Structure 1
Amino acid sequence: MRLLLQWTTIIPLLAWAAFFSGFVNHNAIFQFLTSVLLIFSVMSAVHHSEIIAHRVGEPYGTIILAVAVTTIEVSIIISLMVSGGNEANSVARDTVFSATMLILNGIVGLCLFIGGLKFYEQRFSKHSASIGLVSIVAIVILTMVFPSFTTSIKGPYYSNPQLIFVSISCLIIYAVFLLAQTRRHREYFLTKDDSETDNHVKITNTVLVLSLIFLLVSLGIVVLLAKTLSSAIEGIIISYNLPKTLVGIIIAAVILLPEGIAAIIAARNNKLQTSLNLALGSALASIGLTIPCVAIVSIVFDLKVILGLDIKSIILLGLSVFTVMLSLASGRTNIVYGVVLLVNLFAFIFLVIFP
């Protein structure tokens, strides 16, 4: 009963009621309130995924959180692609690229900065970081760099056989990463405080089932509200003569907000390993699961999906990946690494607004 009366269950139900009542289609004030409902619904989804995660233990908890957030991202991208047709052929690339940049520079940068500010130096398993970064580099190059240089189709596109090959490659890499994280090298991803006995406390079967139900309820309304508000967001951006690429950044930021908060809280509690598990796992899931889903939609609906980045974006992405690799190479961090990554993030946003 206490769970049913919490805001994490009430807000998604209010959001569903607002959606079916046509509340979201009113004036700017109502759209602002709908945006608030959207953000809190995202946070509700993550809250319920965390409850489930406590039952299954680490590192499964961070995996569930990453997959839940990626499910939101994939659903929004696919809904925009299907409804927008070829006019939305770059939304997948823009959102995935934005999510990758926000995770590598924003979430990791803030965690390193806040952790370094409070504890001067934090330690983590460099083996886990290496596994995550190697997987990210391979997937990033396959999905967002190679399409700009292939010659089967003119432009930054993949042909259908290439899309199928890259999708299978992404799934294989992500599956092997999960195997390493959960079984073969699970110890790399655990903190000293993690223990099997702490993972199953106070989570009854009833609470678990309710959390599963409301996780689905929250995910569903997030998809519907984001799709409804995307046109309003795009209209605002166009009215200020800003590039449409900002739509992808805003969508990615909303999706990653609760996960970023969870990672920052872990860093403040001197659990940087948990923060990195969330960040790197989310980056992998964001690309490795989104691109195969986008490929299926593009083939089924015969849509030409732009995946390749331009040279400027490739350089920014390479700078971000290279900086993160150097920052996490030693297994110890400090405030300098965080500041450099945050500067990379500001450079990315600034160059989107002033290309």
Structure 2
Amino acid sequence: MVNKIFMILTFVGVPLSVIGTLLHWPSILLFVIYCLTIIALASFMGRATESLAIVTGPRIGGLLNATFGNAVELIISIFALKAGLIGVVLASLTGSVLGNLLLVAGLSFFIGGLKFKRQKFNVYDARHNSGLLMFAVFVAFVIPEVFSLEMNEAKTINLSIGISVILIALYLSALFFKLVTHRGVYQHGDSGAEEHHEEEPEWSKGKAIAILALATVAVAYVSEKLVHTFESVAHSFGWTELFIGVIIVAIVGNAAEHASAVIMAFKNKMDIAVEIAVGSTLQVAMFVAPVLMLVSLFFPTQMPLVFTMPELVAMVSSVLLMVILSNDGETNWFEGLTLLAAYVIMGIGFYLL
């Protein structure tokens, strides 16, 4: 039923996006159409990556979900950078961290916990990811903020370039560690869902890859149009750039991961659900953010990796909460509710800011 709704939204939304753009429909109407279309396209990306995840296993499957989920946000952010909306891009990065750690993980733990009393996942992966999360947010995001207080704009940009290169190198090293040199080393039955070889993928490998490619192209087109509606929509509703980035862009841009992680948790595939939520956060902090910073060098306005104090405090709090709740390798619905409560509190704060 849900898949049918998304299919209808896709086949109606994409043509409407093109027609509405050509006929210059009202910005608010176009904003709604673009958002719904991107979410519908993201659902196809989610289903395609789920099919690939069954073939490739939980770690690579989770990585694929995170990558193609973040591809949507990366595309939106590049067009926002081109338009000079630096505040929206930084806020959307903050929103991705909060959304993945609190909203996606929270919904996954909560929905899965309603069906299963206790859900387990690989504790070694959880501890490995915890260290990277602490590094990505505490070192890579807090350090530029502190040093920028004593630097001019040019030096802050140079500092951001250096940090970006190091982050990308470390992220690639982390992938090499998990997928090559230490693949399978830390799997000793800690997962609550070890074997799923009997499950058949919805689509074949070739069909799933083709759908991913087509959906990504469509998302790129709609995202470019979506960015141009931000200013008038913000003015109409009294929203700030910060709120649009933290809440709206982050939710729309990460819709594929949101759906996939919750579905996996409901099926008791917590390794994949946690890998989507935490792996996506790491990818945003250690790959998407530095890539966007380096891409901004080619545009008139450069984007330093310097966040506002509310953004930094929110991200640090999210990381600490997630690390504390996930380091035991198991979860339940109440832990999910705790994460969701934190997300709502921060959402209210950013709305009123």
SS in 2 for 1:309: coil
In structure 2, how many angstroms separate the alpha carbons of the residues matched to 1:214 and 1:300? 31
1:99-110 to structure 2, matched below 5 A, reads 99-110=96-107
What stretches of structure 1 of length at least 5 have no aligned partner? 1-5
Find out whether 1:247 has 2:244 as its counterpart.
yes
Secondary structure class of the residue paired with 1:236: helix
Q: Find the counterpart in structure 1 of residue 303 from structure 2.
A: 305
Alpha-carbon distance change, 353 to 120 in structure 1, aligned in 2, over 3 angstroms: same
Cα pair 2:108 2:273 within 8 Å, conserved: yes
Contact 2:9 2:36 in 1 (8 A): no
Structure-2 change in CA distance of 1:105 and 1:220 (3 Å): same
How far the C-alpha of 1:90 sits from its partner, in A, is 2.0
Residues 137 and 316 in structure 2, CA contact (< 8 A), matched pair in contact too: no
Structure 2 residue ranges without an equivalent (≥5): none
Which residue in 1 is equivalent to 2:57? 57
Match of 2:318 in 1: 320
Alpha-carbon offset, residue 353 of structure 1: 1.3
The match for 1:48 is 48
Q: Helix, strand or coil: the match of 2:151?
A: coil
Backbone CA RMSD of aligned residues = 2.9
Which amino acid letter does the alignment assign opposite residue 141 of structure 1?
F
1:159 is paired with a residue of what secondary structure? helix
Map of 1:61-72 to 2, 5 A cutoff?
61-72=61-72
Task: Tell me the equivalent position of 2:95.
Answer: 98
Query: Aligned match of 2:290 in 289, 292, 299?
Result: 292
Percent of residue pairs bearing the same amino acid type: 20
1:282 corresponds to: 280
Task: Look up the match of 1:259.
Answer: 257
Find the counterpart in structure 2 of residue 114 from structure 1.
111
Which structure 2 residues correspond to residues 172-183 of structure 1 after superposition, within 5 A? 172-183=169-180
1:149 aligned onto 2:152? no
Amino acid paired to 2:252: V
Show the counterpart of 2:125. Answer: 128
Q: Render the CA deviation track for 1:36-76: whole Å, top value 9, x for unaligned.
A: 32221121122223333333333211111111112221111
How far residue 192 of structure 1 moved from its aligned partner, in angstroms, is: 5.8
- Displacement after TM superposition at 1:160 (Å): 4.1
| Residues 212 and 158 of structure 1, relative CA distance in 2, 3 Å threshold | farther
Return the TM-score normalized by structure 1.
Answer: 0.85
Partner of 1:226: 223
Please list the CA deviations of residues 123-180 of structure 1 after superposition, one character each: whole Å capped at 9, or x if unmatched. Answer: 222211111121122122344322221146336x863432332122212222232233
Letter in 2 for 1:266: M
C-alpha deviation, 1:287, in angstroms: 2.0
Shift of 1:106: 0.9
Shift of 1:288: 1.8
> Counterparts of 1:154-165 in structure 2 under 5 Å?
154=152, 159-165=156-162
Q: Which amino acid counterpart does residue 296 of structure 1 have in structure 2? A: L
Matching residue of 1:3: none
Letter in 2 for 1:179: F
| CA gap 1:285/1:158 in 2 versus in 1, 3 angstroms | farther
Q: Partners in 2 of 1:159 and 1:79 — Cα distance? A: 23
1:81 Cα shift? Answer: 0.8
The residue type equivalent to 2:36 in the other structure is V
- Structure 2 contact 58–271 (Cα < 8 Å) conserved: no
Paired amino acid for 2:243: L
Deviations 1:21-47 (A, max 9, x none): 455732455654443322211211222
Offset at 1:354? 1.6
